């Protein structure tokens, strides 16, 4: 029986998904190797953790007791508030993730073009500056500068079609990451495993090399910075196991993500556990690939440890630590290295980047095509070489777009944290500025987990989609087609739903948007009243309550108008206006409740100090700005959708006609041959 290949599952324009799930086989030997590696690492990690814990307990008993007392006291005194803050932080991270992914889906493609055009303009400017360096002793630097600066203009002028492909792929990437929640949980599991493994190897290093008893923090840091961990064979073996287990964890869980992206790209219905069914049948290749990666990273780790032997390291480290501890910060001196160290570190980084570039498509090749590790690496090298422009776009423009999306997530979370901090400042008896800084930092730190997971998911899914596209082009050259692909489906950013606006729905949606603008006017009037308040007014109880009622009623009328806007826009099927109005309603209601029930000194009435009034204004003004801004964004998106003629049905019909012509041409060719 002939060996099955990936192309055998593409039949008459359909993808045989049910049989594809049986592609490959389970490897008992690879699983047993993995089990023994895990047991070996876990046993020695636990032993080292126990030793380190006992040493820490003996060395820092007083400090630990003080910390436990403060921590437990904080939990006892504010357990209800802490639980509420925790729930709000989780909800804020989730909402911020959805908002940032929606933004990526809507404007990610446009952002690529803007970023590329700006980079091109900057590069042309750099080439203009380089002309001054084309003579004399700086001639080499001038030509090098021109060589680097010419890349973005060349990509824009000669490879604009590749940018169109990247625009489509980034749209699909945001769509999948937003829809498929299992991808997020895969990232969480890998993150937890990575944390546990890192704690284990850290304990092994400390247990074997670092002395904690009778040592100052400064001396402990110097030990860590200057000790060569590679001098012990057992530690080297455990480091290899650590690197291997990290790589196999990544390959396994993100291999499942690769399959989920592949199933989405092929437009097939995927089961909840199908991703793990597939990677279980690729276990030998995944283990082999993890071994190759672990060997490479062990070499780079050994080189880094050897670089610590520089005679200047201890002196510079000690000097830097002393400066930091005395709070006389001189940036960079703690990490200052000799020339030999810098060269070694540069070579190590280049080695790691070269390995990552070579293996750009290795994991998709293993998971999707069931290739062995050597064949997958060879396929990756071939695809990277023949599609260097696509890889360059991914490493530059796409990377910046994903980073920008992550930054937006963190900014949104920090803003929500600042609002919550102003809400809870009285409970914790802290100043408004302290509340804003502490809670914004806390929420931003809390959102760092989904931000890290989202960035990894976006990267893996995009690379998978790019691999699928390149694979399809390769299969077409072999005469295989038509090939089922989501790439040639709808380009409509509204999830591909046909939404022909008839006159009735259009009129209803227009009424909803009108109510939304009425609500914006109410909130704007509330903002005007808010800004009219002054300290003198707050010392007169009657005027003070009239002022607060005016702000509250104006915002409340805005809530009512937003409710009507939501109802009418729901009937008119205006998705993004609905999302924005729901956000507006929630934020405006929070403002009304804060004014009437949660404001400072609510009972008995006390005249406000200037500082109290200032922070009250900042909080309410921020909430009103969120309300107006949210509706404005939703309205702009819907106006863009209505003004752009995205005829989904016509697009699908065009694809069908092209495919039918292709099939008809193939039939005629075969008939002529006969």
Write out pLDDT tens, residues 357-372. 899 999 999 999 999 9
- The pLDDT value given to residue 525: 92
Instruction: Compute the distance between CA of residue 221 and CA of residue 588 in angstroms, rounded to an integer.
Output: 50
What does DSSP assign to residue 267? T
Q: How is residue 599 annotated by DSSP?
A: S
More confident residue, 656 or 430: 430
Q: What is the mean pLDDT of the segment spanning 7-15? A: 85
User: Sorting pLDDT into bands at 50, 70 and 90, what band is 484?
Assistant: confident
Q: What is the 3-state secondary structure (H, E, C) of 434-488?
A: HHHHHHHHHHHHHHHHHHHHHHHHHHHHHHHHHHHHHHHHHHHHCCCCCCCCHHH
For residue 608, say if its preceding peptide bond is cis, omega within 30 degrees of 0: no
Check residue 14 and report its DSSP letter.
E
Q: Are 282 and 375 in contact (CB under 8 A)?
A: no
Tokens in use for 641? 């959708």
Of the pLDDT bands very low, low, confident and very high (cuts 50, 70, 90), residue 114 is confident
Asked whether residue 234 carries a pLDDT value surpassing 70, the answer given is: yes
Q: What pairs with residue 14 in β-bridges?
A: 11
Mean pLDDT within 532-552:
86
Q: What is the sign, positive or negative, of the torsion defined by CA atoms of 193, 196, 199, 201?
A: negative
Helices of type H across 267-338: 274-280, 283-306, 313-325
**Res 473 pLDDT > 50:** yes
CB 100 within 8 A of CB 94: no
The tokens of 249 are what? Answer: 């964890």
**Would strands 10-11 and 14-15 be described as parallel, antiparallel, or unpaired?**
antiparallel
**Other CB atoms within 10 Å distance of the CB of residue 106:** 20
Q: Using H for helix, E for strand and C for coil, what is the string for 324-377?
A: HHCCCCCCCHHHCCCHHHHHHHHHHHHHHHHHHHHCCCHHHHHHHHCCCHHHHH
For residue 429, count CB atoms less than 10 angstroms from its CB and return exposed for 0-12, middle for 13-18, buried for 19 or more: exposed
Q: Bin 327: left if φ > 0, else alpha if -120 < ψ < 50, else beta.
A: left
Which of 124-128, 170-174, 351-355 is predicted with the least confidence, judged by mean pLDDT? 124-128
CA distance 30 to 279: 12
Q: Is 311 exposed, middle or buried (0-12, 13-18, 19+ CB in 10 A)?
A: exposed
Q: Determine the pLDDT at residue 83.
A: 76
Q: Quick one: pLDDT at residue 470?
A: 92
Q: Out of 29-38, 132-141, 294-303, 550-559, which region has the weakest mean confidence (pLDDT)?
A: 132-141
The two most distant CA atoms of the chain are separated, in Å, by 100
pLDDT by residue (tens digit) across 217-232? Answer: 777 777 777 788 888 8
146, 128 contact by CB (below 8 A): no
Place of tokens 């200037």: 610
Give the pLDDT confidence of 382-404 residue by residue, as tens digits. 999 988 888 888 887 788 888 88
Record the tokens describing residue 418, joined without a space: 């600042």
| Cβ-contact 530, 554 below 8 angstroms | no
Bridge partners of 571?
Answer: none
What's the pLDDT tens digit per position in 261-282?
999 999 888 888 899 999 999 9
Measured from the Cβ of residue 662, the count of other Cβ atoms closer than 10 Å reads: 13
Return the minimum-mean-pLDDT range out of 44-58, 119-133, 409-423.
119-133
Which tens digit of pLDDT belongs to each residue from 116-166? Answer: 677 667 766 766 666 665 565 556 666 666 666 666 666 666 777 787 888
Q: Which of 263, 658, 670, 668 is nearest to 482 (CA)?
A: 658
340 close to 312: Cβ distance less than 8 angstroms: no
Residue 314 is predicted with a pLDDT of 46
**Which stretch of 6-20, 290-304, 325-339, 413-427 has the lowest confidence by average pLDDT?**
325-339
The span from the CA of 206 to the CA of 216, in Å, is: 15
pLDDT for the residue 127: 66
> With contact defined as beta carbons under 8 Å apart, do 403 and 385 qualify?
no
Give the whole-angstrom CA distance, residue 252 versus residue 248.
6
Q: Residue 489: its pLDDT value, please?
A: 52
What's the pLDDT at 78? Answer: 62
Q: How far apart are CA 155 and CA 157, in angstroms?
A: 6
Collapsing DSSP states into helix, strand and coil, what is residue 232? Answer: coil
Interaxial angle between packed helices 283-306 and 28-59, expressed in degrees from 0 to 180 and rounded to the nearest 10: 40
Per-residue model confidence (pLDDT) at position 248: 95
Rounded CA separation 41/200 (Å): 8
pLDDT at 142: 62
Where exactly are the structural domains of the chain? 24-470, 503-643, 648-674
Q: Which band of pLDDT confidence, cut at 50, 70 and 90, is reported for residue 645?
A: very low
Q: Dihedrals φ, ψ of 14, to 5°?
A: -120, 160
Mean pLDDT of 537-542: 82
Cβ contact 145:430 at 8 Å? no
Rounded CA separation 630/587 (Å): 10
Whole-angstrom Cα distance, residue 553 to residue 530?
12
Task: Kindly report, residue by residue over 546-603, the tens digit of the pLDDT.
Answer: 899 999 999 999 999 999 998 888 887 777 788 888 888 988 998 998 888 888 777 7
Contact predicate 220/321, CB 8 Å:
no
SS3 percent helix, strand, coil of the chain, rounded to 5, is 85, 0, 15
Confidence of residue 655 (pLDDT cuts 50, 70, 90): very low
What are the C-alpha distances in Å from 42 to residues 160, 284, 301, 440?
Answer: 51, 22, 21, 37
> Does residue 617 register a pLDDT over 60?
yes
3-state secondary structure 494-552: CCCCCCCCCHHHHHHHHHHHHHHHHHHHHHHHHHHHHHHCCHHHHCCHHHHHHHHHHHH
Neighbours of 553 (CB within 10 A): 16
Evaluate the omega torsion of the peptide bond into residue 482 and state whether it is cis, within 30 degrees of 0.
yes
67 or 487, higher pLDDT? 487
CATH assignment, 503-643: 1.20.120.660
């Amino acid at each position: 029986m002939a060996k099955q290949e990936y192309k055998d599952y593409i039949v008459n324009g359909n993808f045989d998904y049910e049989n594809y799930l049986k592609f490959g086989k389970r490897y008992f030997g690879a699983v047993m190797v993995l089990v023994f590696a895990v047991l070996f690492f876990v046993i020695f990690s636990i032993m080292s953790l126990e030793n380190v814990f006992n040493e820490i307990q003996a060395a820092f008993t007083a400090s630990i007791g003080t910390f436990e007392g403060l921590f437990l006291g904080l939990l006892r005194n504010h357990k209800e508030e802490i639980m509420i803050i925790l729930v709000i932080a989780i909800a804020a991270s989730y909402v911020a993730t959805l908002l940032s992914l929606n933004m990526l889906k809507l404007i990610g493609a446009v952002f690529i073009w803007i970023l590329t055009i700006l980079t091109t303009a900057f590069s042309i400017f750099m080439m203009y500056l380089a002309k001054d360096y084309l003579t004399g002793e700086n001639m080499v630097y001038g030509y090098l500068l021109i060589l680097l600066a010419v890349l973005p203009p060349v990509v824009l002028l000669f490879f604009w079609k590749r940018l169109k492909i990247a625009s489509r792929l980034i749209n699909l990437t945001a769509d999948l990451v937003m829809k498929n929640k299992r991808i997020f949980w895969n990232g969480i599991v890998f993150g937890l495993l990575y944390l546990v493994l890192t704690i284990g190897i850290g304990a092994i290093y400390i247990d074997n090399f670092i002395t904690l008893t009778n040592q100052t923090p400064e001396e402990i840091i110097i030990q860590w910075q200057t000790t060569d961990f590679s001098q012990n064979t057992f530690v080297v073996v455990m480091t290899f196991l650590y690197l291997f287990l990290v790589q196999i964890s990544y390959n396994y869980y993100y291999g499942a993500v690769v399959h989920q992206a592949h199933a989405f790209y092929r437009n097939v219905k995927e089961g909840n556990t199908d991703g793990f069914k597939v990677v279980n049948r690729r276990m030998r290749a995944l283990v082999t690939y993890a071994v190759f990666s672990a060997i490479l990273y062990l070499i780079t780790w050994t080189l880094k440890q050897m670089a610590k032997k520089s005679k200047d390291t201890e002196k510079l480290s000690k000097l830097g630590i002393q400066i930091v501890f005395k709070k006389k910060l001189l940036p960079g001196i703690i990490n200052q290295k000799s020339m030999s160290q810098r060269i070694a570190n540069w070579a190590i980084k280049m080695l790691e980047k070269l390995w990552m570039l070579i293996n750009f498509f290795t994991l998709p090749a293993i998971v999707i095509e069931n290739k062995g590790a050597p064949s997958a690496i060879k396929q990756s090298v071939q695809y990277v070489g023949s599609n260097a422009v696509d890889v360059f776009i991914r490493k530059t423009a796409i990377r910046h777009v994903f980073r920008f999306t992550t930054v937006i997530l963190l900014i949104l979370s920090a803003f929500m944290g600042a609002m919550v901090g102003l809400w809870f400042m009285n409970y914790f008896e802290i100043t408004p500025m302290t509340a804003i800084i502490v809670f914004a930092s806390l929420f931003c730190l809390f959102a760092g987990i989904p931000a890290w997971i989202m960035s990894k998911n976006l990267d893996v899914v995009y690379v998978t989609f790019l691999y699928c596209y390149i694979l399809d082009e390769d299969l077409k050259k072999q005469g295989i087609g038509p090939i089922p692909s989501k790439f040639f489906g709808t380009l409509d950013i509204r999830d591909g739903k046909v939404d022909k606006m008839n006159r009735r729905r259009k009129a209803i949606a227009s009424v909803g948007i009108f109510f939304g603008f009425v609500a914006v006017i109410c909130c704007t009037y509330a903002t005007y009243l808010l800004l009219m308040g002054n300290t003198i007014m707050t010392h007169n109880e009657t005027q003070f309550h009239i002022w607060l009622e005016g702000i509250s009623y104006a915002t409340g009328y805005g809530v009512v108008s937003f409710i009507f806007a939501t109802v009418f826009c729901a009937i008119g099927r205006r998705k993004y206006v609905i999302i924005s109005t729901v956000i507006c309603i929630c934020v405006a209601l929070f403002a009304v409740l804060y004014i009437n029930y949660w404001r400072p000194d609510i009972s008995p009435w006390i005249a406000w100090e200037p500082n109290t009034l200032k922070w009250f204004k900042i909080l309410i003004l921020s909430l009103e700005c969120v309300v107006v801004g949210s509706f404005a964004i939703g309205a702009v998106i819907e106006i863009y959708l209505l003004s752009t003629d995205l005829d989904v049905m016509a697009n699908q019909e065009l694809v069908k006609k092209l495919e039918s012509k292709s099939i008809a041409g193939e039939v005629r060719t075969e008939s002529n041959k006969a």
